[in-house]
Structure 1
Amino acid sequence: MLTKTLWENNTHKWIICGRDPEKPDRIIDTNQYMIKTHNRLLIMDPGGIELFSAMLNSALEYSAINEITDLFASHQDPDIISSLGLWDRALPKARLHAPWLWEGFIRHFGMEHTEYVRIPDEGGEIDLGAVRLTLVPAHYLHSSGNFNVYDPQLKVLMSGDIGAALEPGQPPLFVENFSEHTKHMEAFHKRWMPSNKAKQHWIDRVRKLPIEYMAPQHGRIFKGDDVKRFLDWFEALEVGSAIL
């Protein structure tokens, strides 16, 4: 599994874990992100159960076990959080920040000890001391209770399934040709994003944020002008089209 520091300043750093060449062909590849401060580590959407040992090893490269204090679940899908039951046993004193809507479902993954910090529909914050992260509502994109994570210092938006791309092999980390990249995103967004109204609400919200990097759960990361190109492309795309 690739583990790489993406962005950092003097208070914290963002780390990606993903691009697993050993995953079975019928398991979707995912990007996991971690934020490390001087004494705390947050793991966002820590991955499926099959990734637990690799993710734990990656986290321990940056932090002692007692410094892994926080987990974040953007929504309920098993590809990004079915490992939570194992994290619950490894980190019994950690906090899980997750939508209030999904608590009764997420606990089916085996969440017995970890404190469940319920995110209200309007969003909130994760305070890591060195940085306060904004939890941005992204409801119905694609989950009815869904959030992104925004870092106002490094201007990074962890966008979950928004911006996801499914392409074969081991693609580069960053989008290199936006027009070419859209062919890997279009079918996914048309099928998995059910609401044009929710889509527009999210676009209007995030356009107010200064974003230098948009980091989705699947596929490549957007940077610079490609963030705006994605918002324009997504705005023009008719989603929820599977009914046709």
Structure 2
Amino acid sequence: MDILGINIDYDRPVKLADSVYWVGFADTEGRLQCNPYLIVDGDEAVLIDGGSRPDFSTVMRKVLQTGVTPRQISHLIYQHYDPDLCGSIPNLESIIGSPDLRIVSHAENNPFIRHYAPCSPLLCIDRMERRLTLRSGRTLRFFRTPYAHSAGSFITYDEATGILFTSDLFGSAGAFNYWKLFAEMEQCCQGCQINKPAMPDEPCEVTEAPCPWSGMHHFHRRIMPGNAQLRHAMTVVESVGARMVAPQHGSILHRTADIKAAIDALKAMDDIGIDGMSSGRWGKL
């Protein structure tokens, strides 16, 4: 599929691969683009990082546009506990209306997720052998990425399509004027500004467009707690060998060359979180 050749209608679900959809809200006013994802497997569906309460109506409308009925959703996966992922849990539970619905996260996240008042059982990925097998046999595998950025953070790999859903990892933030669902990095300088980044909306020296690597850098150094945690997470991602990386914020990386370049660039950062602050690189304690 020629992803960049598609004329994308952001008012509808966007197909990423066979049976996998972006069902997010294209934010024309804010600067933090959020990306929920839906996996459809026969008569069963799984929603990943389902979104905030204000975005619920948009997300559910797009779920319905895929042909899925709410009751087909068997699992809600939350890769950490922030409100931009979990805020719509009561809305989703209400419209799904199934006693068999399960919420999947990690034990470190679940005490916080309970504050969203879920009715469904909260499962821990460690007690599931870090995998979810759907009725068809399709398997989603979970990989721990602790403190990137919460203690219970993890990422989800769909074996059927090779898509890795990475939550905040590989995320970026910037003005909507420059946001695209699929990252266009073929002509980019491949991370040359990571070590001396421009601001996220300043143009790249090569493409004269806002630098996607710079936006990624600024996002990670504020969201992630430190260098070691991010590097460990990148090592985990590298071990998976995904063909597509779908973060909860920013743009999807759909070329293996871009995924490798992003991993290398993020591993090389030395001013993440408290490490950047303590060194005086981007703020004072």
What TM-score does the superposition give when structure 1 sets the normalisation length?
0.90
- SS class of match (1:174): coil
How much does 1:27 deviate?
A: 7.0
Q: What residue in structure 1 maps to residue 140 of structure 2?
A: 133
How much does 1:121 deviate?
A: 9.0
How much does 1:18 deviate?
A: 2.1
Q: Is the 8 A contact 2:32 2:174 kept in 1?
A: no
Q: What residue in structure 1 maps to residue 277 of structure 2?
A: 242
Whole-Å separation in 2 of the counterparts to 1:75 and 1:68: 20
> How many residue pairs are counted as aligned between the two chains?
237
Deviations 1:100-126 (A, max 9, x none): 112222111121x21211223996011
How much does 1:154 deviate?
A: 1.3
Q: Is the 8 A contact 1:164 1:218 kept in 2?
A: yes
Q: What residue in structure 1 maps to residue 193 of structure 2?
A: none
Q: What residue in structure 1 maps to residue 55 of structure 2?
A: 51
Deviations 1:221-240 (A, max 9, x none): 11221000010000101212
How much does 1:26 deviate?
A: 4.8
RMSD: 2.0
More off after superposition, 176-185 vs 131-140: 176-185
Q: Which amino acid aligns with 2:23?
A: C
Paired residues for 1:1-244 under 5 Å? 1-8=11-18, 13-21=19-27, 25-26=29-30, 28-61=32-65, 62-91=67-96, 92-93=98-99, 94-111=101-118, 113-120=119-126, 124-130=130-136, 131-169=138-176, 171-177=179-185, 178-179=188-189, 180-223=211-254, 224-238=256-270, 239-240=272-273, 241-243=276-278, 244=280
**Could you say which structure has the higher strand fraction?**
1
Q: Is the 8 A contact 2:74 2:102 kept in 1?
A: yes
Structure 1 residue runs of 4 or more that deviate by more than 4 Å after TM superposition: none
Q: Is the 8 A contact 1:191 1:242 kept in 2?
A: no
What TM-score does the superposition give when structure 2 sets the normalisation length?
0.77
Deviations 1:88-107 (A, max 9, x none): 22234211001111222211
Whole-Å separation in 2 of the counterparts to 1:118 and 1:209: 21
Q: Is the 8 A contact 2:49 2:85 kept in 1?
A: yes
Aligned-residue identity in percent: 24
Q: Is the 8 A contact 2:25 2:59 kept in 1?
A: no
Whole-Å separation in 1 of the counterparts to 2:52 and 2:117: 13
Q: Is the 8 A contact 1:123 1:147 kept in 2?
A: no
Whole-Å separation in 2 of the counterparts to 1:42 and 1:145: 20
Q: Which amino acid aligns with 2:43?
A: N
Compared CA separation, residues 58 and 226, structure 1 to 2 (3 A): same
In structure 1, the gaps of 5 or more residues are none
Q: Is the 8 A contact 1:3 1:18 kept in 2?
A: yes
Deviations 1:117-159 (A, max 9, x none): 1223996011123310001111111111111111122111101
Whole-Å separation in 2 of the counterparts to 1:190 and 1:65: 37
